[in-house]
Structure 1
Amino acid sequence: MIIWIFFGILGFLIWLSITGAFFLEWLNWYEKLKEKKIYNKRKTIVGIFLTILFLAPVGWIIWIPIYWLTYGIHKWKAWFNEPEAFKKIKNKEKF
């Protein structure tokens, strides 16, 4: 469970850094437009929204495989370690 949280946070931070890099690049472009006085407030808001919208799947693409990999490892360990419930069932069948 703890490893899921760790990798979930790691995936989120990777997504955040990628989104942040694109957003900062976009802000740099926006500042250049402001200097030239050719920017539109509505287009700016739409640009920010689209930046976040299109980069959100990047977070899922990174996070989902990590989550399922750790989930799969957890299930694999549980299968080999035989949880207590399975041990109790086996003992009842023997008697």
Structure 2
Amino acid sequence: MPFNMQGWEWVILIVLALLIFGGTRLAGAGKNAGRALREFKDETRQIKADDEKAKREKAERDALSQGTPNAPVVDEVVEAEVVEQPEKRDQA
């Protein structure tokens, strides 16, 4: 294996990186990498939650359309305007 490194080889690699880039640059790069990983995890978690919500909603719609007796009740909000009907006059 090409990357079969021992502990002291990692130490040499870190010392060389510190000499080349400096401590502040490496610290900033580590901070940015951590932030990027955190954002990536948050986004993947949100995508999974959205997918699960869409599947749940689809299952509820399918159950309602098939008339399943144990289907969950979904309240629908319908906007309407109340219109009074004119009174019918007796023409006699």
Give the helix-richer structure, 1 or 2.
Answer: 1
More RCO (CA 8 Å, sep 6+) = 1
Q: Is this a same-fold pair by TM over 0.5?
A: no
Name which one, 1 or 2, has greater alpha-carbon Rg: 2
